[in-house]
Chain A
């Protein structure tokens, strides 16, 4: 098996005069353990690698990729990318970034985690299920329980002189608990990600899934009301995906962003600060450089409600006459890079979530929203989503509520943010604390 750095170097060597060539290679090993009814339901070992080649000739871009290629197959991928470029429309903004000094982020790799033996992983999955099914008499089974981890290596090289590599470890676990009472079933979901098993707090994941399931038992459909709404981090994270799409310079340049004309304007409440920071080690999406070799950094997209700008990769930066923010991302070696988020999070406030409940008297805590992906229009910002949650009374959560709809627009919701909790939590690349919205219409019957 050739070294990643040799594979990417072979692609760069295959460039012809006048061509810009970049190769991105990754290799990962992954283990997943699923537990069910006290046994290992599934144990999966994965080993995968691949190379993606981007080639620019006469301002035309072509892309080709291959799984686990030999050096010869990498050269063939370069030829294919060259052929593919022949069909592309010329675009002067197709450029490969120039090399910049990259500050390593050594803490992304945990050697102990990379060497963790399978038995230990199996133990965590089994213990996770055992804990989830022994905390509350109403939770005796789970739908899914998984422990997973991965060790990954990334290498990138280009004819413009970029040459960089790094390695990382990732670990995660999740629980979908089934809470039952009489004829009713509710599901409770929780998960966490980290860099090593020690960061994972898997006990907390089991407990949280149980809590989130059992507290929904007996849910009723409320009547329509206009009340304060507290989005817990699970619910809030669903909305951040919509924001991420609208804050990409790609969407702005293609006139597909509701924020296109709003730079410098106060869009949200002054409680709302939104950041993308690829170097934040607390975030799971940290990396020393982005997926085209540009150093990552911190970009404050909203500062106290005011929109500062957008996320850029080399293409959008060239087109917009600005610098890349280090936000080139790709869905693995199979795709060319585009603008994407790194650690994309709402800056936490100082208020504990319990205190936020006290400020949302008569309102609703939303713990889950569904249909954001299909129910939100990323261009107009309008959304209408299904929600489940709990009534807030006397500074605490009470009656569980189901089949609610919340409908608004993204800007209206951002303006209505009245407080932000101190409980920032990352869900993959997206991080969010509890967010209190002054008033929203919650539609029921």
Chain B
């Protein structure tokens, strides 16, 4: 995308006024997105995006400038703008050496080689399958997207990294209706992979999961309110862990003293059954990569071991401040954004229980099979999650579906209240928003039971 001599010149220009390091990030991304709405291909969009960002670090602060243009003039201009807030002597730029990736996520068959007609056919399969599941299925929206992101990172301390990241996702959103009651179901698996992903996650399977969710919820009654045990289906505990625990473990919130976990490494802040990691090396994981967006190799970071807090998630800027190596969590949405500490694939690992035991051992509670997303305040640990699919547990059995359930609690209390971790790990793919930047993230967990949590519902 760029020759090394030009990269070196840009880095030198960026270091013209000092600072602790300079970094050039160049990106080119092609993308395809298709939306099939009520059986009609409403939109097929192709995009070509490219640009470069130059960052100059100085202690905890930075200057950042980016442009869509990759010509010498534009890049040198960006370098000068990024350095503008400094007033020191020029800093060194070391010769660039290519780093070898610690893990390569192979796309066996590139999506760019597949005709658009095939991709449209996958969406038709989603539509057909969902509709034939039940006459109560009223609307189906099927979405497909793939992209190939080419990244080049060069730094003043001699790092040269190139990576190609193919991403693919297929989603089904189904609306079911009966007697004026309307419910929706969603499923959207995704991966850092080629179209072999579609073989592993057939469109019909995705459609069926979403359709079953929507139809099952037609029988729902208002969720109960109050404190009670909650069992989270595989994958869902990971979503909760990402939001309520992962965000306060990102080093920027720690440094800003806005995290409930600040200064507490080594303390038991979750049930001893909880082992949690953030792992960018998961082969073909949605949140995986070979290098982060600062050129640090992908790695696996242990967050909790037997309930004891082990560490934070670091980017380069803040790792330098703390005098530790980056954990490879510096990510950005695109060249238009500066890197910030982010999660990759954040998992609660398997335990020893059986999922059926956790249900059977619950006298009265709620079984949550799909979370709709949530909000968390890292400073207080308070979180709220909506449940898009949930059921009552009565006398150890999953019974009536319930709607309108919220899970409300505080991170440390709720993680400490986990009293059962099963052995049926599953992932859940999502898009995480922070500081106006969206990045693909994976989360995952086995079935978990929380002994007590506030359920905000409208029923008795």
Measured CB to CB, the closest approach of chain A to B387, in angstroms, equals 9
Contact of B386 among A43, A335, A384 (CB under 8 A): A384
Stretch of B59-67, B201-209, B266-274 lying at the A interface: B59-67
Q: Which of A121-151 contact B (CB under 8 A)?
A: 122, 141-144
- Chain A contact residues, majority secondary structure: strand
Which 6 pairs of residues, A with B, have the shortest CB-CB distance? Answer: A405-B456, A68-B68, A386-B384, A374-B372, A374-B386, A374-B373
Check if A379 sits within 8 Å of B184, measured CB to CB: yes
As a 0/1 sequence over residues 379 to 390 of chain B, the CB contacts with chain A under 8 angstroms (1 = contact) are: 110101110100
B49 adjacent to chain A (CB < 8 Å) = yes
Which residues of chain B are near A377, meaning CB under 8 Å? 182, 184
Extra A-B contacts (11), CB below 8 Å, given A67-B48, A68-B69, A178-B256: A48-B51, A62-B44, A66-B47, A91-B40, A184-B380, A187-B377, A187-B380, A374-B374, A384-B405, A386-B406, A443-B456
Output the least CB separation between B173 and chain A (Å): 11
Q: Give A252 Cβ to nearest chain B Cβ, in Å.
A: 13
Q: A1-B69, A84-B116, A91-B40 are in contact. Are A48 and B336 (CB under 8 A)?
A: yes
Residues from chain A with a CB closer than 8 A to the CB of B68 are 47-50, 67-68
Chain B 36-68 interface mask (CB, 8 Å, partner A; 1/0): 011111111111111100000000111111111
Contacting residues, chain B, for A77 (C-beta < 8 A): 48
Q: B457–A42 contact, CB under 8 A?
A: no
Can you list 29 contacts pairing A with B, beta carbon distance less than 8 Å? A36-B61, A37-B60, A40-B61, A43-B84, A46-B336, A47-B66, A48-B66, A48-B68, A50-B49, A64-B45, A64-B46, A67-B48, A67-B50, A68-B51, A87-B117, A88-B42, A88-B44, A143-B258, A184-B380, A187-B377, A187-B380, A224-B225, A255-B139, A370-B384, A375-B372, A377-B184, A379-B175, A384-B406, A403-B409
A68 → chain B, closest Cβ, in Å?
3
Taking the nearest CB of chain A, how far is it from the CB of B124, in angstroms? 10
Contact A43 B256 (CB under 8 A): no
Evaluate whether A63 and B43 lie within 8 angstroms (CB atoms) in the complex, with A87-B116, A87-B117, A256-B139 already known: yes
Q: Does B350 contact A (CB under 8 A)?
A: no
Alpha-carbon distance between A62 and B223 when the two chains are bound, in angstroms: 44
Given A386-B406, A407-B456, A44:B46 Cβ within 8 A: no
Quick check: B85 and A122 within 8 Å, CB to CB? yes
Contact yes or no, B372 A386, CB < 8 A: no
Query: How far apart sit A73 and B81, CA to CA, in the bound complex (Å)?
Result: 28
Q: Does B164 contact A (CB under 8 A)?
A: no
Is B212 interfacial (CB-CB < 8 Å)? no
Interface 0/1 of A33-65, CB less than 8 Å to B? 000110111111111111000000000011111
A382 at the interface (CB under 8 A from B): yes
B138 CB–A CB distance under 8 Å: yes
Contacts of B216 in A (CB 8 A): none
**Interface hits, B384-413 → A, CB 8 Å:** 384-386, 388, 403-406, 408-409
B258:A178 contact, CB within 8 angstroms: yes
Chain B residue numbers with a CB within 8 Å of A144 are 256, 435
Question: In the docked arrangement, what's the CA distance between A118 and B40, Å?
Answer: 49
Residue of B45, B175, B388 touching A65 (CB-CB under 8 A): B45
Chain A residues engaging chain B, CB cutoff 8 angstroms: 1, 36-37, 39-50, 61-69, 73, 77, 80-81, 83-85, 87-89, 91, 118, 122, 141-144, 178, 184-187, 224, 254-256, 334-336, 370-371, 373-375, 377, 379-380, 382-386, 402-403, 405, 407, 441, 443, 445
Q: Which of A37, A47, A87, A386 contacts B456 (CB 8 A)?
A: A386
In the complex, which residue of chain A has the Cβ closest to the Cβ of B458? A407
CB of B132 within 8 A of chain A? no
Min CB distance A102 to B, Å, is: 27
Measured in the bound complex, the distance between the Cα atoms of B49 and A64 in whole Å is 11
Judging by beta carbons under 8 Å apart, are B380 and A118 in contact? no
B329 in the interface, Cβ–Cβ < 8 Å?
A: no
Q: Which residues of A contact B454 (CB under 8 A)?
A: 403, 445
Partner of B256, one of A44, A85, A141, A370: A141
CB contact between A89 and one of B40, B48, B408 (< 8 Å): that residue: B40
Give the CA-CA distance A91 to B35 in the complex, in Å: 14
- Say whether B120 faces chain A, with CB atoms less than 8 Å apart: yes
> Is B82 among interface residues, defined by CB-CB distance under 8 A?
yes
Contact: B61 with A68, CB < 8 Å? Answer: no
Q: Out of A47, A88, A403, which one reaches B41, CB within 8 Å?
A: A88
Residues in B whose Cβ lies below 8 Å from that of A67: 48-51, 68
* In the complex, chain A residues whose CB is within 8 Å of the CB of B82: 45
In the bound complex, how far is the Cα of B41 from the Cα of A85, in angstroms?
A: 9
Residues of chain B within 8 A (CB-CB) of A45 are 64-66, 78, 81-82
Q: Which residue of A lies closest to B225 (CB)?
A: A443
Cα(A441)–Cα(B184), bound, Å: 25
Say yes or no: B64 contacts A44, CB within 8 Å.
Answer: yes
B-side contacts of A443, CB under 8 Å: 225, 456, 458
Contact with A along B75-95 (1 / 0, CB 8 A): 000100110110000000000
Q: Which one of A36, A384, A403 contacts B404 once the chains associate, using CB atoms below 8 Å?
A: A384
Q: Is the Cβ of B62 less than 8 Å from the Cβ of A405?
A: no
**Closest B residue, CB atoms, query A76:** B48
B257 is an interface residue with CB less than 8 A from chain A: yes
Residues in B with CB closer than 8 Å to A403 are 382, 408-409, 454
Report B-chain residues with C-beta under 8 Å of the C-beta of A87.
34, 41, 44, 116-117, 120
- Nearest to A382 among chain B residues (CB) is B404
A59 to chain B, nearest CB (A): 11
CB-CB < 8 A to B457: which residues of A?
A: 384, 405, 407
A66 touches B139 (CB 8 A): no
Contact A185 B182 (CB under 8 A): no
Whether A254 pairs with B139 at a CB distance below 8 angstroms is yes
A255 and B65 in contact (CB under 8 A), knowing A36-B256, A68-B50? Answer: no
What are the residues of chain A within 8 A of B60 when measuring CB–CB? 36-37, 39, 41
